[in-house]
Amino acid sequence: MHGSHLHVLDHPIAKVCLTQLRHRATSPERFRVAMQRLSALVFTEASRDIPLVNMPVQTPIMDTTGSIFASPIVLVPILRAGLGMVDGILSLVPDAVVAHLGICRDEETARPQSYYAKLPPLLSSAEVFLLDPMLATGGSAIEATRQLKAVGASRIRLVGIIACPEGIQAFTAAHPDVPVHTSAIDQRLNDRSYIVPGLGDAGDRYFGT
């Protein structure tokens, strides 16, 4: 399962943030802060290989060469819980475009239901980061990636917080070309398709619902 397309962040700050997210007594306020911080950390690793181009820059001392991103960066949070990852990542890449996909699980079947899509043109030339904290059955991320590919996106990375073996297997089988970045791989799904030990319902905890 630990193929070259699966990346698990191994960093002490990430582990402490993740513990705060898991703890049932963490308030929505602290949950939001930890989610934003951990999202920025996972994104930092997920963006390690995005291409740059040189640009001339004048320092107060002399001319030199700097770098800019070669392609636009597009963040695509899956509503709702993916929204909780956006601000932390925007603190690192403030010029990124933010597109939205609304997908939620049917409470009985856990199958993904698509209810909203607002995607920019020219995704084919962009570095696309699909954001969803939880990779559970994988259904939501599989459907979101299908929609992104259908409008031309080709350079897609999935960035999350907690994955599980079932979700990783399903996602990599459906989209073997898309790297998966996460801060943890948990044990399994329970009989309601929640990740164990997980952190509960990410959207409910982030938004306090």
Chain residues that interact with ligand URA, rule: CB under 6 A: 81, 134, 136, 194-195, 198, 201-203
Asked about 186 being catalytic, the answer comes back as no
Q: Which of 44, 80, 87, 105 is catalytic?
A: 105
For every residue of 26-90, DSSP letters joined together read --HHHHHHHHHHHHHHHHHHHTTT--EEEEEEE-SS-EEEEEEESS-EEEEEEETGGGGGHHHHH
Q: What is the rounded distance in angstroms from the CA atom of residue 198 to the CA atom of residue 90?
A: 25
How far, in Å, are 7, 65, 67, 161, 186 from residue 158 at the CA level? 10, 32, 25, 10, 17
What is the DSSP code (8-state) at residue 152? Answer: T
Pick from 78, 123, 148, 156: which binds ligand PRP (CB under 6 A)? 78
Q: How many CB atoms lie within 10 A of CB 64?
A: 9
Cβ nearer to ligand PRP, comparing 9 with 112: 112
Asked about 64 being catalytic, the answer comes back as no
Contact between 117 and ligand PRP by CB under 6 A: the answer reads: no
Which of ligand URA, ligand PRP, none does residue 207 bind (CB under 5 to 8 Å by kind)? none
Contact between 39 and ligand PRP by CB under 6 A: the answer reads: no
Q: Which helix (H) or strand (E) holds 188?
A: strand 188-189
Pick from 26, 44, 71, 193: which binds ligand PRP (CB under 6 A)? 193
Cβ nearer to ligand URA, comparing 153 with 159: 159
Q: Is the peptide bond before 51 cis (omega within 30 degrees of 0)?
A: no
In the block, residue with structure tokens 């079947």? 109
Contact between 101 and ligand PRP by CB under 6 A: the answer reads: no
Of all residues in this chain, which one has the CB nearest to ligand PRP in the complex?
203
Q: Which of the residues are catalytic? A: 105, 109, 201, 204
Give residues in contact with ligand PRP (CB under 6 A): 78-81, 104-105, 110, 112, 132, 134-141, 167, 193, 201-203
